[in-house]
Amino acid sequence: MKRAARRGRNGGAGRHLALLPGFVIGGTSLPARAETDFLASLQLDTLSAGTLSTVLVGLVVFAATTSIVYVRERGRWQRRETELASELEAARGHQDRLAALLAADPQVVVSWNGQNAEPVFEGDSGFLGAPGAALALAYGSWAPPADAKRLELATDALKERGEAFGFTLRSRSGPFIDVEGRPVAGRAVIRFREVSGERARLMALQSEFDRVSADHATLSALLSALPQPVWTRAPDGRLNWANAAYARAVEAPAGPEAVKGGVELLDRSERESAARARDEGRAFAMRAPAVVAGQRHTLDILEVPTPTGYAGIATDMSELEAVRADLQRQMDAHVRTLDRLKTAVAVFDASQRLVYCNPGFETLWSLDPAFLEGKPSDGEILDRLRAERRLPELGDYRAWKAGVQAAYASLRASEDWWFLPDGRTIHVVSSPNPQGGVTYLFDDVTERFTLESRFNALSRTQRETLDSLREGVAVFGSDGRLKLSNPAFAQAWKIQADLASAAPHIDEVVRLCRPLYPDDAVWTELHSVVTGVRDAREDYGCRMERRDGSVLDCAAAPLPDGATLITFADVTASVNVERALTEKNEALEKVSRLREDFVHHVSYELRSPLTNIIGFAQLLGAETIGALNEKQRDYTSHIVRSSGALLAIINDILDLASIDNGALALEFQEVDVAETIAQAVEGLHDRLTDSKLTLKVEIAPQTGPLRADGKRLRQVLFNLISNAIGFSTPGQTVQVTAGRSGRDVRITVADEGRGIPAEVKEKVFDRFESHSLGSKHRGVGLGLSMVRSIVELHGGRVELDSAPGRGTRVTAVFPSEGVPLSDAAE
């Protein structure tokens, strides 16, 4: 009312002001420009004063009418304003009541005045676990993902198509939330309200019931699918549920049939024991045999009391028992194996007590078996070994001992080397056991260290030997790569000295060596030898005459490990010497042939006149053409003897020439050895007499006949006896013996002359080698050479035994059956 009064007062002032400079129409002043135009029109109007008076009267009437209308409308407006104020007060009270109602429960109301309008939030969203009402629409921050997606889809449908929705969900913080959305007066409104009171407790119980039901269904499915028999019993001990494995074990069609028939899995004694345990209210557990699906098995049985009765499970331990028995057998086999090992083995448990040691451990440390049977600790064994000076000499024994026993707390195996006072070296491996404790392996590596030291020394020696060799050496592995070479190899082929360190392939080595020796055939052979292209690994050798004028002898030999050794020996000097010697030998052979040709020619030329001389001398000596005096007869006899000797020499030369040419043919026949010796001696009787020598012939009875050429055999004997006579002095004896030795006939001529020095013995069988050795004997040096040639034609051999001061023995050995067929064919 006071406001209305104030408005009334102000309205009166307005009316008075409206009458001054401007006009007021319906409580509203005219515009100033209209007033100005009006006044100007008045000023410019040439109307008369009467007309002006009439206009003024009209204006006064118009103003009065307007004022009356204004007063009436102002009263009506005041009444309407009062009504609106009352309505506003009522609306504010209603709003306060709605706000109180909204705040009575934990809830949030969100509204949209149009699809694209900004949302308006009312209420507190603290119950959602999201501070700030605006976060109520961030569904993912307080609702599970599936429910958040569901809310987003429902919200979009409400805003776009006005589709109402409502459902209850559980927030991430725990409370249940009622979400309801609907169109209200053209607005989209969603209310989020926390469920509380009995309904909240009911829903919590329903959720817990659903969870327990799901867990029960899961557990039931799991128990039904278990391969072990599982069952439950009522408080009175009767079966009320069994899984499929139980049914298969008792050979029932299914679990319900087994329960309905009351078919028990266990034998009577086990069932009675289980019943006593149920009566006493305790769990029943035991391992017992049972018949499962018609076969005997060993089961681990467990039956425990439950709130609704009893539940049991049977685990088949037959396989485990078999595995355990097999494991025990394997452990026994391992123990037997360890007992045979030379390596010392000692096993300690988690309490560091000895649980096993093999005989090698006792032997290595020379410990008393009684002491080991007492299960001593690791520390006690170490202390005893230290007292007996069988451990390394160390300054801080306690620290060393602690380091050894640190293996009990280690997760990895460790190794160490103990250098004992007696000179032995022990390799120690400490390996933690999975179940606790440590296994020690003690290996006496003294011999190995010694052998390794010797091997290293030998390797160094071999390396130095190879490096000092003048021959180039290269070793290629089975993969065809260079493994080892010496400096001589690099120098010979003018390549890098450290080539072996790069392990080049044989192809690369051939490429580097080819400029000095481009013969592809030789390198291909060496490549096949190294890479094993051949069917069988064989030695290979060749001579390389290189471009620089040097000559190398190459030899390749396979090694046992699959490698190949190739050596290159520089034989340039020896080849040059060999060439010179070859040329010299060819020259000597040419001279020898010239000499022999000359002698043969001269011999043939001398033989004819000599035969004539002998014939005429014999004719004169026979005095067929006239008598001769004594002196003439002596001359004639001397001519005959000298000519005969000369003829014999010429015949020997001709025979040797025939032998050299292969033209001398033997006429084999059965020859009486005694008769042949007698014939040869008869021709030398005069010389024996003149030299005052004694001839002694001894022929063994078992000598028998000899298959040989009789003429050549007499020639051999004649030369041997003649040679013995020439080197004997008056009064000595020349001995001829013959005998059989196995399949050979041995004829020996021995004299008591000066003997033959060693340096002369090597040349006595050479042609034209004559040595008087201080005697009066002179010869052309063909006798013994002829003897050896004829004997060898018979397939025999000549043996010479002589020394200065004890005479000479020459033995001709003939095969009794004649020359072998193979030798005769040659």
pLDDT in tens, 99-108: 666 665 677 8
CA angle, corner 173, sides to 168 and 174, nearest 5? 55
- Sheet of 540-545: strand order equals 482-485, 472-476, 564-570, 551-558, 540-545
> Per-residue pLDDT averaged across 272-291, rounded?
85
pLDDT at residue 45 tops 60:
no
Round to whole Å and give the CA distance between 604 and 607.
5
**What Å distances lie between residue 502 and 307, 496, 505, 508, 509, CA to CA?**
82, 11, 9, 11, 11
Per-residue confidence (pLDDT) for residue 117, from 0 to 100: 77
> Which of 11-20, 377-386, 563-572, 613-622 has the lowest average pLDDT?
11-20
Q: What DSSP string describes 629-665?
A: -HHHHHHHHHHHHHHHHHHHHHHHHHHHHHHHHT-PP
Round to whole Å and give the CA distance between 179 and 184.
16
Per-residue confidence (pLDDT) for residue 103, from 0 to 100: 60
Per-residue confidence (pLDDT) for residue 428, from 0 to 100: 92
Q: How many CB atoms lie within 10 A of CB 45?
A: 11
> DSSP class of residue 481?
B
Round to whole Å and give the CA distance between 451 and 639.
87
Per-residue confidence (pLDDT) for residue 134, from 0 to 100: 64
pLDDT band at 659 (very low <50, low <70, confident <90, very high): low
Per-residue confidence (pLDDT) for residue 649, from 0 to 100: 67
Share of the chain above pLDDT 70, in %: 83
Do residues 569 and 489 make contact, with C-beta atoms less than 8 angstroms apart?
A: no
Per-residue confidence (pLDDT) for residue 554, from 0 to 100: 92
User: How many CA atoms lie less than 13 Å away from 245 in the CB half-sphere?
Assistant: 16
> Cα 425 to chain center, whole Å?
30
Per-residue confidence (pLDDT) for residue 748, from 0 to 100: 93
SS3 content of the chain, % helix, strand, coil (to 5): 50, 20, 25
pLDDT at residue 774 tops 60:
no
> Per-residue pLDDT averaged across 398-418, rounded?
89
Residues 6+ apart with CB under 8 A from 718: 680, 683, 684
pLDDT at residue 533 tops 70:
no
Judging by DSSP bridges, how do beta strands 354-357 and 344-348 pair with one another?
A: antiparallel
Round to whole Å and give the CA distance between 336 and 812.
74
Helices (H), 469-571: 487-493, 506-513, 520-531
**What Å distances lie between residue 312 and 246, 261, 301, 315, 320, CA to CA?**
11, 18, 7, 10, 20
> Per-residue pLDDT averaged across 716-725, rounded?
85
- 505 forms beta bridges with 481
pLDDT at residue 595 tops 60:
yes
- Going by C-alpha positions, the residue among 672, 801, 710 that lies closest to residue 748 is 801
- Going by C-alpha positions, the residue among 717, 726, 728, 712 that lies closest to residue 781 is 726
Residues 6+ apart with CB under 8 A from 104: none
pTM: 0.34
Integer Rg of the chain from CA: 71
pLDDT at residue 534 tops 70:
no
- Sheet of 438-444: strand order equals 354-357, 344-348, 438-444, 425-432, 414-419
Pairwise pLDDT comparison (75 vs 610), residue with the higher score: 75
Pairwise pLDDT comparison (50 vs 590), residue with the higher score: 590
Round to whole Å and give the CA distance between 135 and 125.
8
Per-residue confidence (pLDDT) for residue 663, from 0 to 100: 55
Residues 6+ apart with CB under 8 A from 423: 446
Question: If you average pLDDT over every residue of the chain, what do you get?
Answer: 79
Round to whole Å and give the CA distance between 673 and 705.
6
- 674 forms beta bridges with none
Q: List, for residues 673-686, the tens digit of each pLDDT value.
A: 888 888 888 877 77
Q: Which residue's entry shows tokens 């009486």? A: 672
Q: How many CB atoms lie within 10 A of CB 825?
A: 7
pLDDT at residue 441 tops 60:
yes
pLDDT at residue 672 tops 80:
yes
- Going by C-alpha positions, the residue among 482, 489, 485, 526 that lies closest to residue 504 is 482
Long-range contacts: 214-219, Cβ < 8 Å, 24+?
none
Three-state SS at 16: helix
> Per-residue pLDDT averaged across 665-679, rounded?
86
φ and ψ of 679, to 5 deg? -65, -40
Long-range contacts: 146-154, Cβ < 8 Å, 24+?
151/179, 154/181
Round to whole Å and give the CA distance between 657 and 264.
123
Share of the chain above pLDDT 90, in %: 5
> Per-residue pLDDT averaged across 462-486, rounded?
85
Q: Which of 159-168, 247-256, 426-435 has the highest mean pLDDT?
A: 426-435
**What torsion, rounded to 10 degrees, do the Cα atoms 583, 587, 588, 592 define?**
150
pLDDT band at 126 (very low <50, low <70, confident <90, very high): low
Per-residue confidence (pLDDT) for residue 353, from 0 to 100: 92
Pairwise pLDDT comparison (25 vs 818), residue with the higher score: 818
